[in-house]
């Protein structure tokens, strides 16, 4: 939407969206790029999740992001942020460090390359690390729901 007029500028939709994906549950914008999470998409198993990068001047979908270790139930895309050439995506139910310990992923949005998979140094089951994410410059922040 245009903040000056309230006019709708674009409607973003995923190229492979399906009912129940929860596309748009979390979204963020920076400059001419936006990221939209679809935490319950099923590309790597039921509710594995995904996120999409868009050019907000044209509405073009630029890329689809998924985790390198994507698995059923991870809910990758439950939290998303973008700034400059970087995006961070939370997968708070990822089981890498224990059941629902969670993780977050940093991507280069010019290439779609996953740069880092982040987890809490003191990760424990049910921490839900990645429930919320933030990014500013070269620093990212990741919250843990139950730590």
Query: What pLDDT score does 147 carry?
Result: 58
Q: Cα–Cα distance between 9 and 13 in angstroms, integer?
A: 13
Q: Cα–Cα distance between 64 and 21 in angstroms, integer?
A: 14
Percent of the chain residues topping a pLDDT of 90: 98
Q: Which residues of 22-59 are buried (b: 16+ CB within 10 A; e: fewer)?
A: bbebbbbebeebbbbbbbbbeebeebbbbbbbbeeeee
How many CB atoms lie under 10 A from the CB of residue 16?
12
Q: What is the pLDDT of residues 77-124, one digit of tens each?
A: 999 999 999 999 999 999 999 999 999 999 999 999 999 999 999 999
Query: What pLDDT score does 97 carry?
Result: 94
Q: Cα–Cα distance between 29 and 33 in angstroms, integer?
A: 6
Query: What pLDDT score does 20 carry?
Result: 93
pLDDT at residue 127 tops 90? yes
Query: What pLDDT score does 145 carry?
Result: 82
The average pLDDT across 62-66 equals: 98
The average pLDDT across 49-59 equals: 97
Average model confidence (pLDDT) across the chain: 95
């Amino acid at each position: 939407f245009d903040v000056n007029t309230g006019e709708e500028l674009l409607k973003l939709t995923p190229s492979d969206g399906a009912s129940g994906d929860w596309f748009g549950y979390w979204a963020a914008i920076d400059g001419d790029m936006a990221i939209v999470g679809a935490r319950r998409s099923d590309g790597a198993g039921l509710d594995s999740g995904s996120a999409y990068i868009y050019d907000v001047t044209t509405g073009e979908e630029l890329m689809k992001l998924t985790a390198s270790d994507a698995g059923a139930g991870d809910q990758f895309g439950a939290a998303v942020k973008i700034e400059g050439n970087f995006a961070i995506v939370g997968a708070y139910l990822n089981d890498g460090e224990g059941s629902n310990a969670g993780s977050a992923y940093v991507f280069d949005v010019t290439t779609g390359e996953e740069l880092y998979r982040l987890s809490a140094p003191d990760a424990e089951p049910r921490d839900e690390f990645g429930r919320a994410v933030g990014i500013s410059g070269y620093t990212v922040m990741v919250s843990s729901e139950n730590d």
